Structure 1
Amino acid sequence: MTPTARLAASIDLLAAMEAAPRKPADAVANSFFRERRYIGGGDRRAISGLVWDIMRNWRKLGWWLEQNGGTASPRMLAGAQLVFDRTPMEKLASIYGGGRFAAGLLSESEQAVLNALIGRELECADMPRAVRLEVPDWLLPRLEETFGTDLEAEIKAMAEPASLDLRINMLRTTRSEAMHALAREGLHAEETKLSPWGLRLEGRQPVTASKPFRDGLVEIQDEGSQLVAAMAGVDPGMRVLDYCAGAGGKTLALAMMMENKGHIVACDVSVVRLEGAVKRLRRAGVHNVERHLLTEGDKWAKRRAASFDRVLVDAPCSGTGTWRRNPDARFRTTQVDLEELLVKQAAIMDRAAALVKPGGRMIYATCSLLKAENAGQVEQFVARNPDFHLVASGSPTLPESLREMSMISLTPARDETDGFFAAVLERREQKD
């Protein structure tokens, strides 16, 4: 594709995302490229690169455009990003261009707005703090409550592209063997700092097309997510419930820790997500997992009350910890959404707690950075359920610095992972 056609495609993709504000940007992009199979891999990366840069700078670009009499339309956001990338105005005007596969020539007024941005820095002291940090106004106080003086560093880390983390599958390989297998495919990984099963690659790499992935030696999973699974401290032979299993990422890690022994039930309210786990379980060689679809009025939970050694609750949340991967998510969640999530999380915790046997543990986890969804939920749960109390995980697979903690919070700046929270709650033994 020519630079003109790439720019036009980038603007079209931005417009598609704008037309589906409740749909994740990566899902919109996947559909966009699937419908345009003529766009090659290099062109897809170039188009996606520009679009994701725009999403990471969405509020700042919009602020600059509005300050200079423009509007934050897809074509102007793309132009502004290119100006801040130091694209000369003559080249910018030419790649807008005219013709069938072009975005359309810049009007005089559009050129004037973009000309006013030349030589400027993207961040400006006059910007409101929420604009400069690329967060919604309503969310800024909650993030300040979480991070305090570390907020700027954490937000900066969340604006950086995420690494590609893998979890080795110890049912099939060792970390050293997996690294060598990846290297033979031209994929050079390094060991992660915190997870004993983790490998890290920089940038976007074609891992899913590699033999180690197809053979089930590795799974794509952020290091923080691996540590959440480790917090469960499961052993072979246990009876374990993954209550919000989704497509089974943490289920796979639990099965690996249990050496395929014992029994895991993976539950979810989505049949699509549970069906998506089947291929992953088969590829990993996991055979101690049963799947169960949670439905309204289901008697399944009542019949299995107080029967599980471990119950992992990876609760639906705001996803603020995943902003490195999903920069659009910061503007898709509203204050009303958060309030609804808090109610849902509390209800899920109470339902899941009924399935924990005396002496067993519930691990509550989110990929959120917000206190209200994390420590706040745990504190309220313990107040409602005095037969549960916080305990240290003690899991030998965790780094020593985390083993004696009952709650962990992982952040991009401090830990170089996605943002994750996990707490270990033990049900007290019944007294005779």
Structure 2
Amino acid sequence: MNIRTAAVRILNSYHHQYFNYENKIAATSDGLKLSGKDRDFLYILVKGVILHRSYLDFVIEIAAQRSVKKFENTVLNLLRVGVFQYLILETPPHAFTNETVDAARQLKKPRAIGLINAVLRHLLLKDELKTRLAELPDNESLAIQFSHPQWMIDRWIEHFGIANTQIIADFNNSYQKIYFRHNPVKISWDDLSQILKDSGYTISVAIDSPILFFSTDTPGELIRSELFNKGFMSVQDISQSLAVRLLNPQPGEVIIDACAAPGGKTGMIAQLGGRESIVNAYDISPAKVQLLKNEAFRLGLDFVNYGVADARSGTFPMADKVLLDVPCSGTGVMARRADLRWNRTPQDLETLLVMQREILTNMVNAVKPGGVVIYSTCSIEPEENWQNIEWFLEANPDFTIESADNFVEAKWCDKNGAVQVLPHLHNETGGFAVRLQRR
């Protein structure tokens, strides 16, 4: 089967908020028994079309001289895949045209071939695209060119300025390096690095303390490998590991991870605290708690305790340290989650702010005197980050901020003592974390 055909079929099923395109790609790849190279190309096509959707539709409407709403879904996704190959992947015109037409035949859309040829030929007139974009106001042009919702672009311009907003949007459309966190519970780094080299992987160490992070030129292959299945490593962004470094887990401590799924931070907490620590991981969803258990089993972390609980209202045991990696808008990690931008609304932010404050209010009851709570998000929105902390400190004068630069490198820290990673400043996925100590 033509890989473009498989991509279109996956995109045809992308129609609701909870669609997991990565699982769909994996299932399709397994079903078709795709090679690693073809599997990776399928991923690029599907994720790329989702990422660049509004720009692709803008281009298609110019070329076809009709609204994309008038296209049948399969034909529209065929065109999106073809336009993506030409404008984003820079595939030669004859190649992407022939491949898209072949996919149309396989999908039993022969009547669409003439339209597809006409639209794709029109794409060669790139100057017209530039002219049409230049006619729009700057904020609208930016939203279309970088394929983000207009409301999101407008609020980022307000907070960060138009130049930084363009950098953020461009970052979100780029393919970011995948980092792996070494698992010292199962294997030493000396042994793992030698096995990786012997297996043909080229590795580059990104951070070597307190836990080593590394990257490779073939991350997809490594994720699918037996080395990964054995639990020798996990996938985790460096920016998302900073909250755990701020927590600074130590042997003998009682630690709560209150919103633990999918488990990346729980695993790192357990690896740093070791068997002498008591790590209690919770999530509101029984299904997600099972995923936490599965991940801990893979990593050999059999000493972690799990429970189903609602961090907004549940009762928790007292702890020395509490991590609140709260549900958030995820605007810092949109480079990782292609569909997230299209699933978020301004109303979501209002709902999330209420939830975040409920979690903060409830979970401080589990912090011992002298204990610590880490509040963290993968958001770049001021409301979810510093504005929540300012609100919390006003309501809880027995807590103070411990400066983040005591625990992580100063480059990750803002002037007020928090970890704040922003794509336009750090060229990494965004995140926020602050360490609050109870007097």
TM-score by length of 1: 0.87
Of stretches 204-213 and 337-346 in structure 1, the one that deviates more from structure 2 is: 204-213
Structure 2 residue aligned with 1:420 = 431
Matched letter for residue 145 of structure 2: R
- Is the 1:369–1:419 Cα contact (8 Å) retained in structure 2? yes
* Structure 1 residue 170 corresponds to structure 2 residue 158: no
* Structure 1 residue 87 corresponds to structure 2 residue 100: no
Q: Which runs of 5+ in 1 are unaligned?
A: none
Structure 1 residue aligned with 2:73 = none
Taking the aligned partners of 1:169 and 1:217, their CA distance within structure 2 comes to 5
Deviation at 1:393, TM superposition (A): 3.7
Q: 1:355 aligns with which of 366, 383, 392?
A: 366
Taking the aligned partners of 2:96 and 2:339, their CA distance within structure 1 comes to 28
Taking the aligned partners of 2:274 and 2:154, their CA distance within structure 1 comes to 44
* Structure 1 residue 262 corresponds to structure 2 residue 262: no
Structure 1 residue aligned with 2:71 = none
* Structure 1 residue 75 corresponds to structure 2 residue 78: yes
Structure 1 residue aligned with 2:72 = none
Taking the aligned partners of 1:200 and 1:259, their CA distance within structure 2 comes to 25
Deviation at 1:95, TM superposition (A): 4.2
SS in 2 for 1:320: coil
- CA gap of 1:296–1:267, structure 2 versus 1, over 3 A, is closer
Matched letter for residue 79 of structure 1: G
Structure 2 residue aligned with 1:51 = 46
1:266-281 correspondence to structure 2 within 5 Å? 266-281=281-296
* Structure 1 residue 187 corresponds to structure 2 residue 197: no
Q: Which runs of 5+ in 2 are unaligned?
A: 69-75
- Is the 1:26–1:326 Cα contact (8 Å) retained in structure 2? no
Matched letter for residue 255 of structure 1: A
1:30-429 correspondence to structure 2 within 5 Å? 30-33=26-29, 36-68=31-63, 69-72=65-68, 73-84=76-87, 85-89=90-94, 92-93=97-98, 95-97=100-102, 99-100=105-106, 104=110, 106-120=112-126, 124-127=133-136, 128-148=141-161, 149-193=163-207, 196=210, 197-202=212-217, 204-294=219-309, 300-301=315-316, 304=317, 307-393=318-404, 396=407, 398-399=408-409, 401-402=411-412, 406-428=417-439
Cα RMSD for the two superposed structures:
2.8
Matched letter for residue 125 of structure 1: A
- Is the 1:82–1:92 Cα contact (8 Å) retained in structure 2? no
Structure 2 residue aligned with 1:6 = 3
Taking the aligned partners of 2:197 and 2:231, their CA distance within structure 1 comes to 16
Taking the aligned partners of 1:344 and 1:46, their CA distance within structure 2 comes to 39
Matched letter for residue 16 of structure 2: A
- Is the 2:260–2:281 Cα contact (8 Å) retained in structure 1? yes
Of stretches 233-242 and 7-16 in structure 1, the one that deviates more from structure 2 is: 7-16
Deviation at 1:62, TM superposition (A): 1.1
Deviation at 1:130, TM superposition (A): 1.5
Taking the aligned partners of 1:89 and 1:106, their CA distance within structure 2 comes to 18
Taking the aligned partners of 1:94 and 1:135, their CA distance within structure 2 comes to 28
Deviation at 1:379, TM superposition (A): 1.5
- Is the 1:315–1:365 Cα contact (8 Å) retained in structure 2? yes
Structure 2 residue aligned with 1:16 = 13
Taking the aligned partners of 1:401 and 1:79, their CA distance within structure 2 comes to 41
Deviation at 1:267, TM superposition (A): 0.6
Of stretches 96-105 and 384-393 in structure 1, the one that deviates more from structure 2 is: 96-105
- Is the 2:312–2:359 Cα contact (8 Å) retained in structure 1? no
SS in 1 for 2:19: coil
SS in 2 for 1:67: helix
- Is the 1:239–1:262 Cα contact (8 Å) retained in structure 2? yes
TM-score by length of 2: 0.86
SS in 2 for 1:265: strand
Deviation at 1:252, TM superposition (A): 1.2
Deviation at 1:232, TM superposition (A): 0.4
Taking the aligned partners of 1:235 and 1:357, their CA distance within structure 2 comes to 16
- Is the 1:313–1:365 Cα contact (8 Å) retained in structure 2? yes
Of stretches 85-94 and 74-83 in structure 1, the one that deviates more from structure 2 is: 85-94
- CA gap of 1:12–1:261, structure 2 versus 1, over 3 A, is same
Taking the aligned partners of 2:411 and 2:114, their CA distance within structure 1 comes to 60
Taking the aligned partners of 2:237 and 2:209, their CA distance within structure 1 comes to 10
Deviation at 1:380, TM superposition (A): 1.6
